[in-house]
Amino acid sequence: MSSGQSQAPLPYTDERHQAAAQFLTEEAHLLDTSDFEAWLGLMDRRIRYRMPVRVTAVKAADEVDVQTMHHFDEDWYSLRKRVQRFQTDYAWTEDPQSRIRHHVSNVRTFEGSDDELIVESAVLLYRSRGDRTAPSLLSAGRTDVLIPTEEGLRLRQRDIEIDESVLRTQNLAIFL
Amino acid sequence: MADAEPNGIADITGAVRQGLIPAFLYNDAQVHELERTRLFGRSWNFLAHESEIAQPDDYVVRNIGDDSFLVTRDSDGQIHVMFNMCVHRGMQVCRAERGSARTFRCPYHAWTYKNDGQLAGLPFHADAYGGEAGFIKEGQALLRAPSVAIRNGMIFASLDPDAPDFETWLGDYAFYLDFYTGQSEAGMEFRGPQRWRVEANWKIGAENFMGDSYHTPHTHASVVDIELFGEPKPYKRKEGVLWHAGPGGGTTYKLPPGSDFGSGLAYVGYPDEMIDRMAATLSPAQRALVDEPGFMPSASTLFPNLSFVHNWPQTDAEGRITPFISVRLWQPVGPGETEVYSWFCVAADAPEDYKAASYKAYLMCFGSSGMFEQDDVENWVSITTMARGSMARNLLLNNRMGLTLDGEPIVDQFEGFGGPGTAYQGFGEHNQRHWFSMWADLVSQPAPARQPMAFGMGEQPA
C-alpha cells in the first residue's frame, strides 16, 4: 500500500490536483465540525473504506499490515450506520464531544483510469476529550480514489495506512 | 515484596467477598503490584491461537503482564512457549510481533536459538569460553514458560510451575468455551488481533463481559436505536440467564419461544452448513442449552482476563442477520492502563460468504472501531479516572445485585437451564462476585517462589 504510484504526480498547478486538495480540505472541515451527514454525502455508494491492522515485522518480511484484519473495512451500509449512531442521543463516547482537528498535508494527485484521480495524503488527527485525560494523536497515510460526478468529486475508495501497531486512543469513534 | 503481607489486603478481600468493591481497586499502584506478582504470577493466561501460527516456523510474540513470550511452531509442527530474553545478556531475542523463522538471532552478540528454543549458535564458544569447559552449550535453551496447555487450539501458559492442571482448573467452563471456540471439527480461525491501549483498569472489562447484562440496554442504546442489533432491549436482556461455572461465567439471551437447537441457531443467523457443523461438535447436553427453553450465549469471561462475545447484528441493508465471535484479552499495562487484544474468530471451514458477513458483523460491533465497544471504553476510562483520587478510598461500590441485605438471592436459581454451574434469570451481579472471589483468592496468597536458573553452568533443573 505504501509503495505509492509509479507515475509522477500532477503538478500543483493542475486544476485536477487543486480540486482534489480542496476536496480533502473541505472533507476535513466537515469531520471537524461534526457534519457527518454532509460528509457521508461525499461518498460514492460503492465506497470501500479500509484501514488494515499494522504489525511490527522484521525488515525482510513482506508483511507490514495484516490484510485479514482491519480497524475499518466499511461499505456504504456500515459507514451510514456509524453516522446514524452519532446522531442518536446515546453515543456516549462522543457526548460530550471530542475536540478534533484533521491536519491534512502531503497531497499528491495522480491520474487514474476513466477520469479517476488517485490522491495520496497524510493526516494527523488530534483528539482531546474532557479535561482529565491526555489528548490522543493518530497519524496515517491515505490513498484515495476520487471520481468526478455532476455534483463534484466523490470518494470511491480510501485505504488508510495507520502509523501505529498498537493504537493509543480509546476507540475509533472518528473517521480518518 | 511478594511475600510480605501488604497493608489492608485482608480488608480488601473481605470487602469484595461481601460484594463491596473498594473503589480505589480500579487505579492503585499497590493493588496493581499484587495482581502482577500474585494473580498473574499464578493464573492460566491466554497467549495465542494455533491458527495464528498455522505453518511450521510461524511465530507470534505475546505478553503475560510485563513478560514477553515467543510462541512458536517449530519445523516439526510442535508448539513452544519461551521467555523472549536471551540467556546471555538479556536482550529481547525477537523484536517483531509475528512472522516466520527457523532461528532467532539475538542482535547483541549473535547468540542464535532454533525455533524450538535450543541454543544453536554461540560465537567464539571455544575462544571466548574455552568451549564446554567454560559454558556448557549442549542442551541450553530459552527459558520455557513454566506451564503450558492447549484447548480448542487456544494456547495458555502459567508462570507458576505448580499451576493446577489446566483441564481440572477449567472444569465446567469447558462446556461453555466450546460454544465460542468449538464450532467445527476443523477448528477455529483467529484473525487479528487489533491492539489498542485504553486508560482503563483491566478488571472492568473482565467483570463486564462476565455478567453485566444490566449495562447493555443503556450503554448500548445507540445500536438498538440505529437497528444494528435489536436484542439489547431492557425487557429482552432481563429474560436472559446469567451463569457461572468453574473459573468463568457469562450472559445469555433468551431465544423466541418454541426454538430448538437448529431454529435457535438459525434465528441468530447461522446458515445450515454451520448448524450442521455445530451439531456434530457439540454434545447433546451442549445442544440442550440452545433447545427449549432456549438460551444463546452472548458475553463471557474466563478468569482472569480472557473474554468472549457472541452477538448477531444486521450486516447489510437488506436485513441479513449474522453472528460473530470475538475473543479478547484485557492485558494490564499499569494500574490505570490496559492493552486490549481483540480477535475475530470463525470456524476455519465456514463458507466464505458467511466468514465475510461475520467479519463485517465483528468490525461493526466490537474491536477498536466497534460501535458497542466505543461506548464501553468511554465508561471504563471514566471509572478508572475517578478511582485515582482520595475520595475513592471512602467508597465501597455495591456489587451485590441479586442479593437481599441478608445475602439471600432475590430469585431462586433457574431450574431447567441446560448448562452446568449456577444460573439465575434476570439482572444480577452473581458472576461479578464470583470473579472477585477468584481475584481475592489469588491476591491474598503469596506469589509462587521463583527458582532462578544459571545458564551454561550444567544441567538445567527439570
Q: Which residue has the cell 468453574?
A: B246
pLDDT classification of B210: cutoffs 50, 70, 90: very high
- Give the nearest chain A residue to B99 (CA atoms): A57
d(CA B3, CA A110): 65
- Asked if A90 and B367 come within 8 Å (Cβ–Cβ), the reply is no
Angle, helices A76-86 vs B352-365, to 10°: value is: 20
Alpha helix segments (H runs only) across B91-154? 125-129
d(CA B206, CA B219): 16
- Give the nearest chain B residue to A170 (CA atoms): B198
pLDDT at B443: 97
The nearest CA of chain B is from the CA of A141 a distance in Å of 18
Q: B197 — contact with chain A (CB < 8 Å)?
A: yes
The nearest CA of chain A is from the CA of B373 a distance in Å of 8
d(CA B294, CA B289): 6
B300-329 pLDDT, tens digit each = 999 999 999 999 999 999 999 999 999 999
Q: Is the pLDDT of residue B460 over 70?
A: no
Q: Is the pLDDT of residue A166 over 50?
A: yes
* DSSP-derived secondary structure letter, B446: P
Residues ≥6 apart with Cβ < 8 Å to B207: B301, B432, B435, B436
pLDDT classification of A94: cutoffs 50, 70, 90: confident
B366-397 pLDDT, tens digit each = 999 999 988 888 899 999 999 999 999 999 99
- Give the H or E element holding residue B170: helix B166-170
List chain A residues with CB under 8 Å of B328: none
Q: Is the pLDDT of residue B459 over 80?
A: no
B4-13 pLDDT, tens digit each = 567 789 999 9
Q: Is the pLDDT of residue B181 over 70?
A: yes
Q: How many CB pairs under 8 A join A and B?
A: 123
Contact B33, B456 (CB under 8 A): no
pLDDT at A71: 97
Q: Is the pLDDT of residue B3 over 70?
A: no
- Asked if B226 and A72 come within 8 Å (Cβ–Cβ), the reply is no
Out of A58-72, A81-95, B411-425, pick the least confident.
A58-72
Q: Is the pLDDT of residue B198 over 60?
A: yes
Burial group, residue A44, by CB count within 10 angstroms (0-12, 13-18, 19+): middle
Q: A167 — contact with chain B (CB < 8 Å)?
A: yes
Contact B366, B208 (CB under 8 A): no
Q: Is the pLDDT of residue B189 over 60?
A: yes
Closest CA to B210 of B399, B18, B453, B8: B399
- Asked if B378 and A171 come within 8 Å (Cβ–Cβ), the reply is yes
Please give the radius of gyration of chain A, using alpha carbons only, rounded to the nearest integer.
Answer: 17
In this complex, the residue of B195, B373, B385 whose CB is nearest that of residue A133 is B385
pLDDT classification of A61: cutoffs 50, 70, 90: confident
pLDDT classification of B416: cutoffs 50, 70, 90: confident
Cα atoms found within 13 Å of the Cα of residue B77, Cβ hemisphere only: 0
In this complex, the residue of B98, B225, B373 whose CB is nearest that of residue A171 is B373
Q: What is the mean pLDDT of residues A90-110?
A: 93
- Asked if B98 and A90 come within 8 Å (Cβ–Cβ), the reply is no
A106-164 pLDDT, tens digit each = 999 999 999 999 999 999 999 999 888 889 999 999 999 999 999 999 999 999 999 99
List chain B residues with CB under 8 Å of A50: none
Q: A77 — contact with chain B (CB < 8 Å)?
A: yes
* DSSP-derived secondary structure letter, A93: G
pLDDT at A64: 66
The mean predicted confidence, pLDDT, of chain B is: 94
The nearest CA of chain A is from the CA of B419 a distance in Å of 33
| % of chain B beyond a pLDDT of 90 | 86
Q: Which residue has the cell 440452545?
A: B290
Q: B225 — contact with chain A (CB < 8 Å)?
A: yes
Q: What is the mean pLDDT of residues A33-49?
A: 98
List chain B residues with CB under 8 Å of A132: 385
Q: Is the pLDDT of residue A3 over 90?
A: no
Residues ≥6 apart with Cβ < 8 Å to B317: A76, A77
pLDDT classification of B453: cutoffs 50, 70, 90: confident
d(CA B343, CA B15): 34
- Asked if A165 and B97 come within 8 Å (Cβ–Cβ), the reply is yes
Q: A69 — contact with chain B (CB < 8 Å)?
A: yes
Q: B367 — contact with chain A (CB < 8 Å)?
A: yes
- Asked if A84 and B226 come within 8 Å (Cβ–Cβ), the reply is yes
Q: Is the pLDDT of residue B2 over 60?
A: no
- Give the nearest chain B residue to A63 (CA atoms): B99
List chain B residues with CB under 8 Å of A69: 191-194, 344
What ipTM does the predicted assembly reach?
0.95
B266-288 pLDDT, tens digit each = 999 999 999 999 999 999 999 99
pLDDT at B4: 57
In this complex, the residue of B97, B100, B196 whose CB is nearest that of residue A56 is B97
- Asked if B198 and A73 come within 8 Å (Cβ–Cβ), the reply is no
Q: What is the mean pLDDT of residues B244-257?
A: 96
Record the cell numbers describing residue B424, joined without a space.
439465575
* Residue B454, strand partner residues: none
Please give the radius of gyration of chain B, using alpha carbons only, rounded to the nearest integer.
Answer: 23
Closest CA to B346 of B192, B188, B182: B188
pLDDT at B175: 97
- Asked if A57 and B378 come within 8 Å (Cβ–Cβ), the reply is no
pLDDT classification of B1: cutoffs 50, 70, 90: very low
Sign of the C-alpha dihedral computed for residues B13, B19, B21 and B26 taken in this order: positive
Q: A85 — contact with chain B (CB < 8 Å)?
A: yes
List chain B residues with CB under 8 Å of A74: 363
Q: B285 — contact with chain A (CB < 8 Å)?
A: no
d(CA B24, CA B13): 13
Q: Is the pLDDT of residue A76 over 80?
A: yes
- Give the nearest chain B residue to A174 (CA atoms): B369
Contact A163, A140 (CB under 8 A): yes
Q: A40 — contact with chain B (CB < 8 Å)?
A: no
User: What is the b/e burial string over B110-142, where b = at least 16 CB atoms within 10 angstroms of the residue's CB?
Assistant: ebbbbbbbbbbebeeeeeeeeeeeebbbeebbb
B130-174 pLDDT, tens digit each = 999 999 999 999 999 999 999 999 999 999 999 999 999 999 999
Sign of the C-alpha dihedral computed for residues B39, B42, B43 and B45 taken in this order: positive
Record the cell numbers describing residue B207, joined without a space.
467483570
B83-140 pLDDT, tens digit each = 999 999 999 999 999 999 999 999 999 999 999 999 999 999 999 999 999 999 999 9
pLDDT at B41: 96
pLDDT at B351: 96
Best B343, B355, B371 member to test A by mutation, with max A CBs in 10 Å, is B371
d(CA B413, CA A32): 52
pLDDT classification of B82: cutoffs 50, 70, 90: very high
List chain A residues with CB under 8 Å of B375: 90-93
